[in-house]
Structure 1
Amino acid sequence: MFFGEALMAQNDNEAVDVVLVGAGIMSATLAVLLKELDPTIRLEVVELMGSGAAESSNPWNNAGTGHAGLCELNYTPAAADGSIDIKKAVHINSQFEVSKQFWSYLVRKGTFGSPKSFISPVPHLSFVQGRKGVDYLKNRFAALSRHHAFADMEYTEDKARMTEWMPLMMPGRPADEVIAATRVAGGTDVNFGALTTQLLAHLGSQPGAEVRYNQKVTGLERQGQGWRVEIKDSRSGAARQVDARFVFLGAGGGALPLLQMSGIPEGKGFGGFPVSGQWLRCDNQDVVRQHEAKVYSQAAVGSPPMSVPHLDTRVVDGKKSLLFGPYAGFTTKFLKHGSFLDLPLSIRAGNIGPMLAVARDNMDLTRYLISEVRQTMEQRLDSLRRFYPQAKPEDWRLEIAGQRVQIIKKDAKKGGVLQFGTELVAAGDGSIAALLGASPGASVTVSIMLDLIERCFPEQARSAQWTGKLQEIFPAREKVLETDAALYRDVSQHSNECLQLVPQPARAEPGVTPLP
């Protein structure tokens, strides 16, 4: 049994081992992992919307970049002396490789579905303009290419070569423009919506697992060694209570209000800064066919990391499109389908200080968001033409992206800081955990959920059953991948073959086996 003694329902309440709030990539990944580790576990996923992957995991609400540090320049900051810090890029790369191992394991089981429905090979490029940008990219290439994870990276300042790499972006440029690019052919585009849907379908086919939609969590209360979760059906109005030993709050922007509802001391002091997003989208296949890449550049001076511009190939339901952006905006909603009262209702005595400190220290961000909101379509197209000089207005339309709620947390010196990224907040007894923040969350979900398992289920994670299963699923974890070049290459190659990202050699019948 997952938790030893069976959890007994009280007052005719339903009882499960785990309740997961939100049917996005985070909850779906954690639920499937837990079922693999203990098939007897009883769990329920509850989702406010009428389907899974309706918010941040939806393919049109994110860029679909399999974030691996290959092209994202904000993961490799430059020091004052020009040296490049590659630690974050290396770590994110290893985390994405861990995600690929999990997806490969599920594909090898033979019942999960085709990897082609959610992951596609798309080269990752970095593109810079001006002498300062070129010097930075050259130093970045020199630093990264010495590491085994980036050994296949190519660098060029040759415009003929760049025309081969990104033919859509080169015509119409000034002959004397100073530009450079790097390319990694082994990048990916990931449809996190399709992946989430497959995970949920796989989960729902197993005994002791249920996914329910149109379910709103209205209360969280400590109950013995676990939690009582109050849930209301948004269609019928029927209310019910579920007793659970563990609760995961994986509701994207909606996780912060739920964390506050729980009242755990570890959640006090956290605030949220919601940022909306928009893309320019092109479905004209005559244009789309000329760009087979995700091309990232540098954010404008003084702009936040969320503003890094990129022109991306997207593959959704087998059809290719192009996205350019993101263009930021501001709203008080925490979810795309949320309420304008989300931000004001999240203010508490414990977080108003950090929130005011962040407001004081981030006036540049405020001005940036105001300027983004006020942009006209022509101004957005001008930004696109920095990448694609010959862009035509009739080929592009505005696409509303998902909400991102950046983390505000206490800081001893500043009072509060705005944090870009993700953070796992868990109760001291491991009975409840929430995932806050944004990018690169989806790409590194598996590593985040493995961290959650180690923090919230320490005894089970050390057991022979769970340890053996984890070793079967994950031949190599992050730290080893960062340091062992030969193992990295073997594991990555094996994952790429399973996920059909490279031509596949002849194989015996598929089976779930560890690496040879």
Structure 2
Amino acid sequence: MSGMQKKTDVILIGAGVMSATLGSLLKELAPEWEIKVFEKLANAGEESTNEWNNAGTGHAALCELNYTSEKADGSIDIRKAVNINEQFQLSRQFWSFLVSSNLIRNPQDFIKPIPHMSLVTGDENVSFLKKRFKALSDVPLFQGMEFSDDPEKLKEWIPLIMEGRTLNEPIAATKVDSGTDVNFGALTRMLFDHLKSKNVEIYYKHKIKDIKRTSDGSWEVKVQNLDNGKIEYHTAKFVFIGGGGGSLPLLQRTGIPESKHIGGFPVSGLFMVCKNPAVVAQHHAKVYGKAKIGAPPMSVPHLDTRYIGNQKALLFGPFAGFSPKFLKTGSNLDLICSVKPNNLCTMLAAGAKEMALTKYLIQQVMLSNEKRLEELREFIPNAKIEDWEIVVAGQRVQVIKDTEAGKGALQFGTEVVSAADGSVAALLGASPGASTAVNVMLKVLEKCFPQHMKEWEPKIKEMIPSYGVSLAENPELFQEIHASTTQTLGLGQKEPLHR
């Protein structure tokens, strides 16, 4: 077997935004390392990263209410919001470095400025939003946030949402003009074009069949060429599994102790899409509401301006669904095959705990187009069914694991699982996902290459000036970096709203 093995330094599994980011970081930090990428599909960024498979929000906690919780004493806990915003700033800095170094070009093809807004109705929610606004306004990262509970002002901000609305209860919104719409599919394709120019070998239509440890501590990856069925074996000192929902089964194949007692629960998503220019022109923002009582965090309704290709569109959703597949292009056996003796109790415990989620998903699956239109009309009272179509978004696999709180806890964030020796790492989970890819991949480097971090740190700080520093606690540095990345990424332009 060893005679057939092809050796390399790094293997990246999956051609999504995570592998693209890690590969791009490594090519700057260790340009002499050989990197190979294996992707089951025919192109980069076709699964979770694809622009139609996610909301395209540059998640910086500017509008996502589930990142700020109300404590028992009525105060607002903003720690998670500050943390996520700082993580997004790292992404902006790295993308800016790539653009200013001419490693990628035309940033307007993947990132555009879009106001981020939160919108609520009812006395209790308006009170919450006002307290949230006051708490965040003290943090430099949230500079420029505006609050209004004046319907006339809201008609200026969101005319499409306010038109035809019956104002029988209080309504309020916050707005931050420095929000972004990010086409992660376009960004990922740019990054892989860059990596190809740096002699990274990228193999499309190649499926990973197995991952095994070799006697010298390396990893042997068994790969099938889907065009001709041929099996190849590649070995590397380090393997990163960035296969979206497909990461969990591959992580389980490694057999590392850290892969035990972890399960996954797949949730699919649908969006309603409007491409009617007359309607699209009336809305220019990403407007996030509040999840309904009993609904999971990933169900927060939002109406988004999106730029996909050269077309501007509106997306509303998400509507959750259920499929046993871990990927859109996966198998109906994915969920059942992921249940192992070591995670069976974890999965069963989650099932018992998450009856509310199960009920919610059943209700969502049963929704008719008329019911979806009703939910849309809570945002756009005058919405017409003929202006909207349904798009099936990506699959997300929510991590289930045992925590201090007990067995079978459902996790809604993004997690990295790595071997104790750092030789293999896998990315699991969902939101905020792609927006925080740079932060997540820096954590992979810290976990898996601790022996190199001192040597790499000067280059990391050149690429990401705030690395290791809290921007929330250094407002002058934040102002400097924010102004610089805004200019480099072309985010200073405001698009007028047409009514």
Scaled to the shorter chain, the TM-score interval is over 0.9
Given that residues 120 and 129 in structure 2 are in contact (C-alpha distance below 8 angstroms), is that contact kept between their aligned partners in structure 1?
yes
Given that residues 277 and 403 in structure 1 are in contact (C-alpha distance below 8 angstroms), is that contact kept between their aligned partners in structure 2?
yes
CA drift at 1:410 = 1.4
**Partner of residue 458, structure 1:** 450
CA drift at 1:446 = 0.2
**Partner of residue 487, structure 1:** 477
Q: Does 1:25 align with 2:17?
A: yes
Q: Which moved more, 1:475-484 or 1:326-335?
A: 475-484
In 1, distance between residues paired with 2:405 and 2:4?
50
Counterpart of 1:470, as a letter, is I
CA drift at 1:212 = 0.8
In 1, distance between residues paired with 2:211 and 2:113?
42
CA drift at 1:107 = 0.3
In 2, distance between residues paired with 1:235 and 1:143?
56
Q: Does 1:381 align with 2:370?
A: no
1:475 alignment partner, one of 431, 442, 465: 465
CA drift at 1:471 = 1.3
Q: Does 1:109 align with 2:109?
A: no
What SS does the aligned partner of 1:168 have?
helix
Cα-to-partner distance string for 1:29-55 (whole Å, 9 max, x where unaligned): 000110011111100110000111111
Counterpart of 1:409, as a letter, is K
In 2, distance between residues paired with 1:287 and 1:478?
44
**Partner of residue 497, structure 2:** none
Cα-to-partner distance string for 1:317-357 (whole Å, 9 max, x where unaligned): 12110000000011100001100000000000111111101
Cα-to-partner distance string for 1:348-372 (whole Å, 9 max, x where unaligned): 0111111101100111100000000
CA drift at 1:413 = 4.9
What SS does the aligned partner of 1:62 have?
coil
In 1, distance between residues paired with 2:166 and 2:378?
11
- Within a 5 Å distance, the mapping from 1:296-445 to structure 2 comes to 296-445=288-437
TM-score after normalising by structure 2: 0.97
- Within a 5 Å distance, the mapping from 1:31-430 to structure 2 comes to 31-207=23-199, 209-223=200-214, 224-430=216-422
Q: Which moved more, 1:494-503 or 1:338-347?
A: 494-503
CA drift at 1:503 = 5.2
Given that residues 38 and 203 in structure 2 are in contact (C-alpha distance below 8 angstroms), is that contact kept between their aligned partners in structure 1?
yes
Instruction: Specify whether residues 391 and 25 from structure 1 end up closer, same or farther in structure 2 by C-alpha distance, changes over 3 A only.
Output: same
Counterpart of 1:213, as a letter, is Y
In 1, distance between residues paired with 2:44 and 2:407?
37
Equivalenced residue count is: 493
In 2, distance between residues paired with 1:122 and 1:230?
44
Given that residues 118 and 174 in structure 2 are in contact (C-alpha distance below 8 angstroms), is that contact kept between their aligned partners in structure 1?
yes
TM-score after normalising by structure 1: 0.94
What SS does the aligned partner of 1:502 have?
coil
In 1, distance between residues paired with 2:422 and 2:374?
50
In 1, distance between residues paired with 2:151 and 2:469?
38
Given that residues 123 and 169 in structure 2 are in contact (C-alpha distance below 8 angstroms), is that contact kept between their aligned partners in structure 1?
no
Identity of paired residues, percent?
A: 51
1:496 alignment partner, one of 467, 479, 486: 486
What SS does the aligned partner of 2:144 have?
coil
In 2, distance between residues paired with 1:490 and 1:413?
41
What SS does the aligned partner of 1:61 have?
coil
What SS does the aligned partner of 2:126 have?
helix
Aligned-residue CA RMSD in angstroms? 1.2
Query: Where does the alignment leave 5 or more consecutive residues of structure 1 unmatched?
Result: 1-8, 505-516
Cα-to-partner distance string for 1:145-201 (whole Å, 9 max, x where unaligned): 111111210000011111111111001111333100000000000000000000000
Given that residues 315 and 321 in structure 1 are in contact (C-alpha distance below 8 angstroms), is that contact kept between their aligned partners in structure 2?
yes
Given that residues 110 and 186 in structure 2 are in contact (C-alpha distance below 8 angstroms), is that contact kept between their aligned partners in structure 1?
yes
In 2, distance between residues paired with 1:480 and 1:159?
37
CA drift at 1:480 = 2.0
What SS does the aligned partner of 1:198 have?
helix
Cα-to-partner distance string for 1:379-435 (whole Å, 9 max, x where unaligned): 001001111000000000100000000000013553210010111000000000000
Given that residues 354 and 411 in structure 1 are in contact (C-alpha distance below 8 angstroms), is that contact kept between their aligned partners in structure 2?
no
In 2, distance between residues paired with 1:318 and 1:68?
25
Instruction: Specify whether residues 412 and 155 from structure 1 end up closer, same or farther in structure 2 by C-alpha distance, changes over 3 A only.
Output: closer
In 2, distance between residues paired with 1:349 and 1:372?
31
Query: Where does the alignment leave 5 or more consecutive residues of structure 2 unmatched?
Result: 495-499
What SS does the aligned partner of 1:481 have?
coil
Given that residues 70 and 125 in structure 1 are in contact (C-alpha distance below 8 angstroms), is that contact kept between their aligned partners in structure 2?
yes
CA drift at 1:479 = 4.0
Given that residues 133 and 174 in structure 2 are in contact (C-alpha distance below 8 angstroms), is that contact kept between their aligned partners in structure 1?
yes
What SS does the aligned partner of 1:143 have?
helix
Cα-to-partner distance string for 1:113-153 (whole Å, 9 max, x where unaligned): 11001000000000001111100000100100111111210
